[in-house]
Structure 1
Amino acid sequence: MDTGTHIVMGIALGGLALADPVVASSSLTTTAVIAGTIIGSQAPDIDTVLKLRNNAVYIRHHRGITHSIPAVILWPLLISTVLWLIIPNVNFLHLWLWTFLAVFLHVFVDIFNSYGTQAIRPFSRKWVALGVINTFDPIIFGMHIVGLLFWMFGANPVTTFLIMYAVIVCYYILRFAVQAAVRNAVKHTIPDAKQIIIAPTMKFFQWRVAALSESHHYVGRAYGRSITIYDKFERVPLPESDLVKAALLDVNLSAFISFSPIYRWEITKFDQLYEVRLIDLRYRSNDFYPFVAVAHLNEELEIVNSYTGWIFSEDKLRKKLDFMPN
């Protein structure tokens, strides 16, 4: 989920913690627990700082080890220990329990996005992504805001947030049902599809669709059970050439491949440079595919420049690469 949603979730959990008699009986413990749930709901995303280094490192590692099983155990221990040292006479066990719940829920809800997490690491580095909830879901965020406003104006936080989370659980179940209906509609539209990727958007009934058969890639949108295919590309394997092998050694292209399950490629010759471009098919927006990886190689097959990330115009991509073709 996005940062804003994780913040309001942390505050809501702090209110729900007042159901714990040990927390409710001590103002110091209440303060520490609310601080713990807010910090704990943010801690796994500390790896966002990797973006300051470069996109390749960020793509490979964001929601990786910081969202793993060891991290879910260590984050609450670290946060609770620091708060226990800062705020004296706090019940450490209950502080740890509620902080653990905040960290666990952060990782758990991220699994439902299309990006996913490596939540079962170290047992597997597989990305777990159920793709039923958008990274920012206005309904979930809005329900938290309403719940917090009720608390602010005097409602019982325990009752308020128990009702809110019961409604959110039903909402998740409904999203799974809608996703299943969309998947069945895609199967009817593309009977020979071998792989179907359905990604949510901020609009409840609209979903991104990418599919592949033995011979083609398909890209479209779903509105309810109505499927519209916008693009159909012939499915051609990457050439096993020296040029492609050299390009795939680049950190940006290798990071892209580690992240993207469905993409197409283009190879273009510009004077004395070759361009190898990989295009993720999951994020079509306004007739453009913004998530790409591009490498330029000279005639000796040396990497001249490369880039991976989100680019919404060809001009911006050229500026990133510091390259203007003749």
Structure 2
Amino acid sequence: MDTGTHVVMGIALGGLATLDPAVASSHVTTTSVLIATIAGSQIPDIDTVLKLRNNAIYIRNHRGVTHSIPAVILWPLVLLAVIYPFFPGANLLHLWAWAFAAVFIHVFVDIFNAYGTQALRPFNSKWLALGVINTFDPFIFAIHVLGIIAWVMGADPGFTFLLMYFIIIGYYFKRYQTKKRVLVEVRSMIPDATEIIVAPTMKFHQWRIAAMNEDCFFVGRSINGEVKILDRFKRIPVPNTPVIEAAKKDQNISAFLSFSPVYRWEVDEYDDHYEVRFIDLRYRSNGHYPFVAVVQLDLDLKPINSYTGWVYSERKLRKKLGVVPS
């Protein structure tokens, strides 16, 4: 989920913790638990700082080791070490338990996004991405905000957020059922599909679709249960040419290929350089595919410039590559 949603989730979990007698009976424990749930709902995303280095490192590592099994065990202990000295009268066991719950829920809900996490590391490095809930879901964010407002206005936080969580669980089941229906419809349209990816959007009844069979890539969208195929591309295997092999060694291309499961490729040859482009097919927006990886190589196949990330126009991509558009 996005940072804002994780913040309100942490506050809500702190309110829910007041149902715990050990928390409710001690003001010190209540305060420390609220701090721990807010911090615990944020701390797995500490790897966001990697974006300050470059997109390639961020893509390779975000929601990786910081969302792994050892991290879920370690983060609550880190929070205890930081928070408990300021609240020595707090119930240590219950402070740890709610800190653990905050970290675990953060990682758990991220699995339902299209981006996913490597939550099974170190036993399995596969990305777990159920693609049921958008990274920012307006309903989930709004119901948390309403619960917080009710708390501020005097409502019992424990029962308020308990009711809220029951509603959210029902919402997750509804989203899952809606996605399943879209999958069935896509399967009926492309019966020989070898892979189908249905990804959520911020709108409840709109889903992005990327699929493939042995011959083609299909890109579409489902709106109110109606599936439309918007683009179709011939599926051409990535060749083992010297240009492609040199491009794959670039960190931006390598990071993209480690992350993207459905993409097409292009190679352009100019007078003084080659340009290799990989295009993720999952994120079509207004006829454009914004998530790309591009590398420019000189005639000796040495990298000149490269980039991976989100760009919404060719002009902006040229600027990212250090090329001033004419």
TM-score over 0.5 (shorter chain): yes
Number of the residue aligned with 1:148 = 148
Query: 1:113 corresponds to which residue?
Result: 113
Partner in structure 1 of residue 83 of structure 2: 83
Identify which range, 44-53 or 216-225, moves more after superposition.
216-225
Deviates more, 1:169-178 or 1:316-325: 316-325
Structure 1 contact 182–224 (Cα < 8 Å) conserved: no
- Indicate conservation of the 8 Å contact 2:6/2:42, yes or no: yes
Distance between the aligned counterparts of 1:304 and 1:7, measured in 2? Answer: 41
Q: For 2:324 and 2:196, how far apart are their aligned partners in 1?
A: 36
Is residue 228 from structure 1 mapped to residue 224 from structure 2 by the alignment? no
2:8–2:145 Cα contact (<8 Å) kept: yes
SS in 1 for 2:135: coil
Number of residue pairs aligned between Structure 1 and Structure 2: 326
Q: Tell me what 1:191 maps to.
A: 191
Which residue is 1:48 aligned to?
48
Q: Which amino acid aligns with 2:29?
A: T
CA RMSD of aligned residues (A): 0.9
Task: Kindly indicate whether residue 137 of structure 2 is the aligned counterpart of residue 137 of structure 1.
Answer: yes
| Alignment of 1:36 onto 2:26 | no
TM-score by length of 2: 0.99
SS in 1 for 2:12: helix
Tell me how far apart the structure 1 counterparts of residues 94 and 301 of structure 2 sit (CA, whole Å). 59
The CA deviation at 1:325 is 7.5
Q: Counterpart amino acid of 2:104?
A: F
> Matches of residues 186-265 of structure 1 in structure 2 within 5 Å?
186-265=186-265
- 1:244-281 per-position Cα deviation (integer Å, ceiling 9, x unaligned): 00110000000000000000000001221100000000
2 CA distance for matches of 1:248 and 1:310?
19
- Aligned residues of 2:38 and 2:102 also touching (Cα < 8 A): yes
Deviation per CA, 1:66-112: give whole Å up to 9, x if none. 00000000000110121111222111111000000000000000000
> How much has 1:324 moved relative to structure 2?
4.7
Greater displacement, 205-214 / 146-155? 146-155
Matched-pair contact (CA < 8 Å) for 1:178–1:224? no
Unaligned stretches of 5+ in structure 2? Answer: none
**Residues 102-161 of structure 1 deviation map (CA, whole Å, 9 limit, x = unaligned):** 000000000000000000000011000000000000001111011111111111111111
Secondary structure in 2 aligned to 1:129? coil
Aligned counterpart, 1:179? 179
Maintained 8 Å contact 2:315/2:325: no
| 3-state secondary structure, aligned to 2:274 | strand
TM-score, normalized by length of structure 1? 0.99
- TM superposition shift of 1:190: 1.5
After TM superposition, give the deviation of residue 219 of structure 1 in Å. Answer: 0.4
For 2:142 and 2:119, how far apart are their aligned partners in 1?
26
Partner letter of residue 5 of structure 1?
Answer: T
Name the counterpart of 1:301: 301
Q: Distance in 2 between matches of 1:286 and 1:107?
A: 31
Helix, strand or coil: the match of 2:193? coil
By how many angstroms is 1:33 displaced?
A: 0.4
Q: For 1:241 and 1:107, how far apart are their aligned partners in 2?
A: 40
Q: In structure 2, what is the Cα distance between the partners aligned to 1:325 and 1:297?
A: 18
